[in-house]
Amino acid sequence: RSLMPRTLDSQITVEKTPSYFVTKEAPRRIFNMSRDTKLIVVVRNPVTRAISDYTQTLSKKPDIPTFEGLTFRNRSLGLVDTSWNAIRIGMYAVHLESWLQYFPLSQIHFVSGEKLITDPAGEMGKVQDFLGIKRVITDKHFYFNKTKGFPCLKKSESSGLPRCLGKSKGRTHVQIDPEVIEQLRDFYRPYNIKFYETVGQDFRWE
């Protein structure tokens, strides 16, 4: 709380940390700070997410093992190594259970990472509705950047330079053996189905 800016009743303070959702202590700590906090979680296809995670790590540590080597404890038996962070993070249904012990589903909003690319204004519209604020951000605030392959934000309709995410975003993913991808899809399927059923939203990751 001491790190948060002073906020008037008419204002909303937003803070983001990607690791909150998968940190076991976070739900209790946030609940103890403010049980009325609204939570926003961006989720994407866990297979794509894992490959993206690996691609980012590989750019910093080129000598790490192959994606396949890190993914499986035993490839022939199809045993996936759930202790590897890149895999574990995509098990959304498991992480969500910790949050639902403290917060009702009505206080959690899930943003589709895929739709954030194909329809950023639509996804941001839902976020603004969830926060109970006027829809200020619209399609006028986005344009598609062909180099990056995703939308970038115009700060306002009249201002000059647009804002795009940094160099680490939008890079080409490492090529992965299609069989490995298929095995990962099979692994995540029950977790995805449970996640869809719990949140009442089908993200169509199949």
- Concatenated DSSP letters for the chain? -TTSPP--TT-------GGGGG-TTHHHHHHHH-TT--EEEEE--HHHHHHHHHHHHHHH-TTSPPHHHHHEEETTTTEE-TTSHHHHTT-HHHHHHHHHTTS-GGGEEEEEHHHHHH-HHHHHHHHHHHHT------GGGEEEETTTTEEEE-SSSS-SS-B---TTSSPPPPP--HHHHHHHHHHHHHHHHHHHHHHT------
| Predicted model pTM | 0.89
pLDDT of residue 91: 98
Which pLDDT band holds residue 169 (cuts at 50, 70, 90)? Answer: low
Residue type, 168: S
pLDDT at 168 over 70: no
Does the annotation place 38 within a ligand binding site?
Answer: no
Instruction: Tell me the C-alpha distance between 112 and 42, whole Å.
Output: 6
Instruction: Tell me the C-alpha distance between 28 and 55, whole Å.
Output: 32
Instruction: Tell me the C-alpha distance between 40 and 30, whole Å.
Output: 13
The label of the residue with tokens 């926003």 reads: 40
Does the annotation place 170 within a ligand binding site?
Answer: yes
Does the annotation place 44 within a ligand binding site?
Answer: yes
Which pLDDT band holds residue 156 (cuts at 50, 70, 90)? Answer: low
Half-sphere exposure of 131 (CA within 13 A, CB side): 19
Does the annotation place 189 within a ligand binding site?
Answer: no
Name the more confident of 2 and 25. 25
Does the annotation place 2 within a ligand binding site?
Answer: no
Q: Domain segments of the chain: what residues?
A: 18-193
pLDDT at 161 over 80: no
Contact between 93 and 99 under an 8 Å Cβ cutoff? The reply is no
pLDDT digits (tens, 9 = 90+) for 56-70: 999 899 999 999 999
Contact between 176 and 87 under an 8 Å Cβ cutoff? The reply is no
Which pLDDT band holds residue 38 (cuts at 50, 70, 90)? Answer: very high
Q: What percent of the chain has pLDDT over 90?
A: 72
Q: Which of 35-39, 90-94, 100-104, 154-158 has the lowest mean pLDDT?
A: 154-158
Which homologous superfamily is 18-193 in? P-loop containing nucleotide triphosphate hydrolases (3.40.50.300)
pLDDT at 73 over 70: yes
